[in-house]
Structure 1
Amino acid sequence: MATSLNYQLHDIVEMKKPHACGANSWEITRVGADMKLSCTNCGRGIMMSRFDFNKRIKKILQVANQKEE
């Protein structure tokens, strides 16, 4: 399983608190100094610093497929 520093685009993660729509799974859509997440239920996007992301993440639910050849 990936460690807390190995996040990839399109990983599905679970955060400590659910979104207002009730879903608790997010897709990573940008990785860098800031992290951009999209709710898998309603599609709402949020951005947060990597520091805040590391504090708020609970676990990685699904790792993105590696199809680069």
Structure 2
Amino acid sequence: MDVRVGDKLLMKKQHPCGSKEMLVLRTGMDFRLRCTGCGREFMV
């Protein structure tokens, strides 16, 4: 799967705020994502 910065991902599990859509902020060994519902950033 080719994931690039700026892509929007639809996740299987939803974030606690209820949104399933995440924005990719950084790629590499891990991913930094931002929830499009609440704006929370986290690493996966």
Q: Which range, TM-score by smaller chain?
A: over 0.9
CA distance in 1, matches of 2:29, 2:39: 22
Equivalent residue for 1:9? Answer: 5
> What is the TM-score when the length of structure 1 is the normalising length?
0.61
Structure with more relative contact order (C-alpha pairs < 8 Å, separation 6 or more): 1
Equivalent residue for 1:45? Answer: 41
Q: Where does 1:1-69 land on structure 2 (aligned, <5 Å)? A: 4=1, 6-48=2-44
Q: Which runs of 5+ in 2 are unaligned?
A: none
Q: Which runs of 5+ in 1 are unaligned?
A: 49-69
Instruction: Give the structure with higher Rg (CA).
Output: 1
> What is the TM-score when the length of structure 2 is the normalising length?
0.93
Percent of residue pairs bearing the same amino acid type: 39
Following superposition, which runs of at least 4 residues in structure 1 exceed 4 angstroms of deviation?
A: none
